[in-house]
Structure 1
Amino acid sequence: MRHRKKFNHLGRKAAHRKAMLANMASSLILHKRISTTTAKAKALKMYVEPLITKSKNDTTHSRRVVFSYLKQKEAVTELFREVSPKITTRSGGYTRILKSGNRLGDNAEMCYIELVDFNETYTTEKKTEAKKSTRRRRGGKATTKAEGSDTVDAKAEEAGQAAEEADKKEE
């Protein structure tokens, strides 16, 4: 009986399973998204999320622990340099599984597993480009400040006089 046995053996011996999960985890870290079967993706999620949590603390010990699981120097470097700074505020749930239908050959349920913070489709941060403003002059000849203020004052005075005359006529 399999009571309280969480983990899926995936129909493989222990050495084969560990090697496969290490390779898949390295590919996930390097490529940020991979396609696989749903059962393997769920097993990979349980395998890689503790490693990503371990990468939040960048010490020699944590690098060695992660390297003992991944067995690829490039993947460890990528994890600590690229992935770790993006997930520091996240408290868990670093991966997402997106179902993609069934495989043609054997009808296995396929899916994509990806790192959450690296998919531009689902990120809420919008990249704001610096909007280049164009400055245009209005038509007409250029006036100096003194001339412009005189004409504005004269127009205001004329409007005020016209309003006073209109009030006198009404009375």
Structure 2
Amino acid sequence: MRKLGRTKSHRKALIRNMAISFFQYGKIETTESKAKAMKRTVESIISLGKKGDLASYRKINAIINHKPTLKKIKEIAERYKDRNSGYTQIIKLSPRKGDNAERAIIKLV
């Protein structure tokens, strides 16, 4: 896992909050390294949602702990029931003007 220049607890909170925003809006714009770090978590959450059993939903709830987002994940999992993996796509953008950081959009395919 990428460290992103943060402590473990800060990194976990960052990924959780970004995943919640991602599931609410369907896409988010962030730095390329944060998008790559978040992709792993988002894809595993969607795969757990596809299983549809109680244990899977409890694991998802342990990761994100946000009930309105859990409903969205159920809808998204239904949409991707025939797909094995590759639910997200990272599109590179031009560097940010202030600090020249590589930007990217991560969105559902």
TM-score (norm 2): 0.97
CA distance, structure 1, for counterparts of residue 37 and residue 20 of structure 2: 14
Aligned twin of 1:65: 59
* RMSD across aligned positions (CA): 0.7
Q: What per-residue deviation string (whole Å, max 9, x for no partner) do you get for residues 56-82 of structure 1?
A: 0112211110011112111111101x2
Q: Which of 70, 78, 88 is the equivalent residue of 1:85?
A: 78
CA distance, structure 1, for counterparts of residue 94 and residue 69 of structure 2: 29
Q: Does structure 1 residue 40 correspond to structure 2 residue 27?
A: no
> What percent of counterpart residues are identical?
39
More helix by share: 2
Aligned twin of 2:94: 101
Count of aligned pairs: 109
Gaps of 5+ in 1: 1-6, 117-171
> Partner letter of residue 104 of structure 1?
K
Q: Tell me, what secondary structure is at the counterpart of 1:89?
A: coil
Q: What per-residue deviation string (whole Å, max 9, x for no partner) do you get for residues 96-125 of structure 1?
A: 000111111111000100011xxxxxxxxx
CA distance, structure 2, for counterparts of residue 98 and residue 107 of structure 1: 17
> Partner letter of residue 55 of structure 2?
H
CA distance, structure 1, for counterparts of residue 24 and residue 48 of structure 2: 17
Q: Tell me, what secondary structure is at the counterpart of 1:55?
A: helix
Higher relative contact order (CA 8 A, sep 6+): 2
Gaps of 5+ in 2: none
Runs of 4+ aligned structure 1 residues displaced above 3 Å come to: none
